[in-house]
Chain A
């Protein structure tokens, strides 16, 4: 017998917990939106443009939420917004999350992180601060975020956090407004020894305004960007190799959303992830098991016969997901040809597909499959170019 603290690698421990959480339906991950408003006015944002001043989670609501999540078995908790550092009670909410024993992750645009916040985070470190980066100059930042002199502040925030040993990652949406600077942004991150990632999928605003989608890159532009960022798509090929074949049971959701992960918005609405804005219940008002059960029902959906995604062997490496499809079409089991084209081009580039052209281009999309709203379809570059 030993009382020792075992020196088990954390990856092994997390894998073991993940497997058990998946089989026992434990919400290991929670993404909590504590504020919907933001100090930036980004062109592509899907949350803040729809937010009202009062769309802020109170400390009491956050604590109620944390108690429920802690009892349910949540370990990793992402605090996000909006901009979390613009929340008047951010410090109290953050400390409450820490004291509930969560592994806390933070999303931020970095603009408000000065020495005081950096010192605070150094004393009470999160697992990681994930900062959005929108360019490498104040001019670029103004174009994307509408805020002057912003890059110099974000750049300083990166330095302040790194100087204090706080783990940082950088991420950027791949937009028509940012695409030309993405390779240099990757280099910026590399010089600082931190990870950088980008995402080419843009969804409509929460209340349906499709203007953000007009900033999305066309599929061929996405592939050109991929090449510039990852020559030969070697990292993508490795990533693709890491996934097995998609499930053959026709399930729409193959991710952890609703199975080991969930999101909570400022009003207590429960969803599969941050991208999905269709909420199934309210955790401020209902017992945890009730809303978690409702979410489980949502993610047990199956594709209708003949749906192009049902038998697709690239589902696990698809550029889209049920949440992005849901935002563009209204249904997670809808279909967005834009995502399909990006995915097939990528698969073709790494030798997994002969032509890079999805079947729906040559054979058409079955009539019973929901496609993007007319406005969204017009906004997407695939149809307008």
Chain B
């Protein structure tokens, strides 16, 4: 498990190995390459919101603030959710990271 402290120190950006589509009310992430877990993933609306924010480099803390502002959720809860989501994106090869 990655600690919150270390997540905050890192920056994240979405990778170029997937394409996001919004079709028939569904938020979809389509894999371009074969080295992923599945060819297609479904996002919640919150995940789609985060994917859009990840067009530019950002941190867990900044993303959590944006989620908290947008979805009326506590900052702690947002930070947890963001961390989990980033971990999932990383697991499917859809995330780039760098040290801030």
**Beta-carbon contact of A101 and B34 below 8 Å:** no
**Beta-carbon contact of A101 and B30 below 8 Å:** yes
Interface string of A83-98 (1 = CB under 8 A from B): 0000000000000001
Q: List B6-65 residues whose CB lies under 8 Å from chain A.
A: 19-21, 23-26, 28-30, 32-34, 38-44, 46-47, 50
Q: Which of B23, B24, B29, B30 has the most CB of A within 10 A?
A: B24
Residues of A within 8 A of B92 (CB): 5
Q: Which of A21-29, A110-118, A200-208, A318-326 is near enough to bind chain B?
A: A21-29
B97: interface (CB < 8 Å): no
Residues of A within 8 A of B81 (CB): 1-4
A73–B28 alpha-carbon span in the complex (Å): 12
A16: interface (CB < 8 Å): yes
* A1-B73 contact in complex given A98-B32, A125-B39, C-beta closer than 8 Å: yes
* A165-B85 contact in complex given A13-B26, A16-B26, A99-B19, C-beta closer than 8 Å: no
* A17-B34 contact in complex given A3-B46, A4-B44, A5-B42, C-beta closer than 8 Å: no
| Chain B residue with the shortest CB-CB distance to A1 | B73
Q: List A50-90 residues whose CB lies under 8 Å from chain B.
A: 70, 73-75
**Beta-carbon contact of B77 and A1 below 8 Å:** yes
A101–B24 alpha-carbon span in the complex (Å): 14
| Chain A residue with the shortest CB-CB distance to B67 | A3
**Beta-carbon contact of B24 and A20 below 8 Å:** yes
Residues of B within 8 A of A74 (CB): 23
A329–B84 alpha-carbon span in the complex (Å): 59
Closest-CB distance, B59 to chain A (whole angstroms): 15
* A1-B71 contact in complex given A24-B24, A28-B24, A75-B21, C-beta closer than 8 Å: yes
| Chain B residue with the shortest CB-CB distance to A13 | B42
Residues of A within 8 A of B38 (CB): 10
Tell me what chain B mostly uses at the interface: helix, strand, loop, or mixed: mixed
Question: Which of under 10, 10 to 19, 20 to 34, or 35 or more describes the interface residues of A?
Answer: 20 to 34
A13–B47 alpha-carbon span in the complex (Å): 16
A17–B42 alpha-carbon span in the complex (Å): 11
Q: Which of B23, B46, B47, B67 has the most CB of A within 10 A?
A: B23
A6–B77 alpha-carbon span in the complex (Å): 18
**Beta-carbon contact of B85 and A28 below 8 Å:** no
A123: interface (CB < 8 Å): yes
Residues of B within 8 A of A13 (CB): 26, 42
Closest-CB distance, B93 to chain A (whole angstroms): 13
**Beta-carbon contact of A20 and B25 below 8 Å:** yes
**Beta-carbon contact of A101 and B85 below 8 Å:** no
| Chain B residue with the shortest CB-CB distance to A164 | B34
Interface string of A162-198 (1 = CB under 8 A from B): 0001000000000000000000000000000000000
A103: interface (CB < 8 Å): yes
**Beta-carbon contact of A3 and B42 below 8 Å:** no
**Beta-carbon contact of B42 and A6 below 8 Å:** yes
Residues of B within 8 A of A103 (CB): 30, 39-40
**Beta-carbon contact of A75 and B39 below 8 Å:** no
Residues of B within 8 A of A2 (CB): 44, 46, 81, 84
**Beta-carbon contact of B39 and A101 below 8 Å:** no
Residue of A1, A28, A99 near B23 (CB, 8 A) is A28
**Beta-carbon contact of A100 and B19 below 8 Å:** yes
Residue of B23, B26, B32, B44 near A124 (CB, 8 A) is B32
Q: A1-B81, A10-B40 are in contact. List 18 more A-B contacts (CB 8 A).
A: A1-B71, A2-B46, A3-B46, A3-B47, A4-B44, A5-B42, A5-B92, A6-B42, A8-B42, A13-B42, A28-B23, A75-B23, A98-B19, A99-B19, A102-B30, A103-B39, A122-B34, A124-B33
Q: List 9 A-B contacts (CB under 8 A).
A: A3-B46, A4-B81, A6-B43, A8-B42, A13-B42, A17-B23, A28-B24, A98-B19, A123-B34
